[in-house]
Amino acid sequence: MQLEIRPDPAEVGRARKWARSRLAVSGIRDDEPLAETLILLVSELVTNAVVHTGCPAVLRLCLPGAATDEATVRLEVADSSDRAPVPRCADDDATGGRGLALVVGLADRWGWSREEGGKRIWCELDRGGQTGPAPGRAGGTGCGPTPGGGASARDGLAFEAV
């Protein structure tokens, strides 16, 4: 299931509402930590696509077929920019620049790939398992783009998807 996103900041709220409705249909309750985390990740990745590319994007959710205690939820945002996510320094007082750092910290796995006409940034959350990334599971070890499409926050750097 997917939602086309216009290059308008108001689309972020529409994307959150759409994702909540998809979660409900899938049997994932609004008050589950997984749902709250997923909605935050939708917000961050859609905001990055809208703000940094100025082009339409596509939000895709891959949800478990039936309500189960253990399953993986995958979120993808594809946009028309082929530029890799790059480190961005965010001062303590900055109001932005922490989107991908949140993804790194909250997702069980994440990455990105170049595709014809742009790129796709994705993350996965495991339902019923450990929350947050296990060591070595979410991205690489440096501050910039890494082979295989992952990156992590370190030394006060956040990531910006452009």
pLDDT of the residue at 23: 92
The boundaries of the domain holding residue 15 are 2-160
| Greater model confidence, 36 or 144 | 36
CA angle 91, 93, 95 (to 5 degrees): 95
In contact, 48 and 158? CB cutoff 8 Å: no
Whether the CB-CB separation of 119 and 112 falls below 8 Å is answered with yes
pTM: 0.76
Digit-coded pLDDT (tens) for 73-114? 999 999 999 888 765 767 777 667 677 888 888 999 999 999
Q: How many domains does the chain contain in total?
A: 1
For residue 109, the domain's CATH number is 3.30.565.10
pLDDT confidence bin for 129, thresholds 50/70/90: low
CA 159 to chain centre: 12
pLDDT tens profile 15-73: 999 999 999 988 888 888 999 999 999 999 999 999 888 899 999 999 876 555 668 99
Which is more confidently placed, 144 or 118? Answer: 118
How many other C-beta atoms lie within 10 A of the C-beta of residue 59?
A: 24
